[in-house]
Structure 1
Amino acid sequence: MGITRMSDLKRSKTGARSIGWRKKRNHAKGRPAAATRIGAQKIHFVRVRGGNYKRRALRLDQGTFAWASENATRKVRIMSVVYHPSDNDLVRTNTLTKGSIVTVETGPFKEWFAKAKGKPLGNEKYEAPKNITDDMRKSWLKHKDDAPVESDLMSEFSSGRLLAVISSRPGQCGRADGYILEGEELKFYQEAIQKKKKSG
């Protein structure tokens, strides 16, 4: 049968061998990993137990990412995989999995910020729209006294690439969605990426 998900024949956490009291079962069989890469979208439907279907993403080039502190979510293009906590080979091959640290484009978030708050994000030039609606004015007044965007994240916007983490499972649901890194989490991964560059 090959790939199996059953743990009957594995060692225990302490390293003790387990005695195989039965052979492999059909209900416990597994499939090869999806190994989702960055590229033009390509999704396969896989029939699974109970007549359900999994969406096996083989290629993805965009996803929906959330900017949590601003309560904003936008569909953006995924540029590359820059760090993975489990395997450097997944970085080399640009493989998308849950937990992958990726760089995404900044454009859609900049557009949203300018429209919602009536000011540019960073030092970029800002041209106010010609047709300003009442809703836009209300939004600008509402966000007038908001705290500024933190400096670490601002430098990410200036570079044109944001660090984000994938929180969905592309090989199971056919989507690469996640959130933008901020605060302590952003600092941690920035240091980890720099450390990896120096050692490499």
Structure 2
Amino acid sequence: MSRSVTATLGVILGVVGLAALAVPQITTPLPTGDPFVLVVGLVLLLGAVAQVQRRRHTELDYAETPDAELAVELPTPGDDLDRRLGRLRLTRFNESERRRISDEIGDVAAETIRRRERCSPEEARRALDEGTWTDDPFAAAFFTGRVPEAPTTDRLRELLDRESPFKRRAARAVDAIERLLEPDDRRDADERPGDDDE
């Protein structure tokens, strides 16, 4: 039995049923014996079987829904600086890149000093140029360009290190800047004698 025939019969029977509820007298001329009920039941049963068969042979279409929550990888602060410092080791004589890195770290250091000490930008730059902004001689030397005022053994250790002095001092300068951002009690604990590996 086709789908359209089944639907048509269903609509007709539904309309007749609703009409019979409203006006019961209209069902009087209709046959109500067992043969009529049997025919109607068979028609409905065949229609139901046809629908079941149609559904069994129909391919299901599933909706593709996006993931509710996607993990997004974000760059870690400092990754770019690490990569650039790593490239400097491969290209030891790239002076312009060293100057750019030094200027960027210097800008951050000067702004940090200005906020920490509540001083003018000129005073912050002077502290960088004179090396008075930190107790770490290697971090200070990153901006002064002078030989670190450190024990000879520490300076020899720096020279024998596999990393270039520029890269090592840049890392020390970044660490010193981070210490400026720490509360005073934390800084005092970090700067106790014996904590410095140098």
Q: TM-score normalised to the size of structure 1?
A: 0.23
Task: Provide TM-score, normalisation by structure 2.
Answer: 0.23
Higher helix proportion, which one?
A: 2
Larger RCO: 1 or 2 (CA < 8 Å, sep 6+): 1
Q: Which one has a larger percent strand, Structure 1 or Structure 2?
A: 1
Larger Rg computed on CA atoms: 2
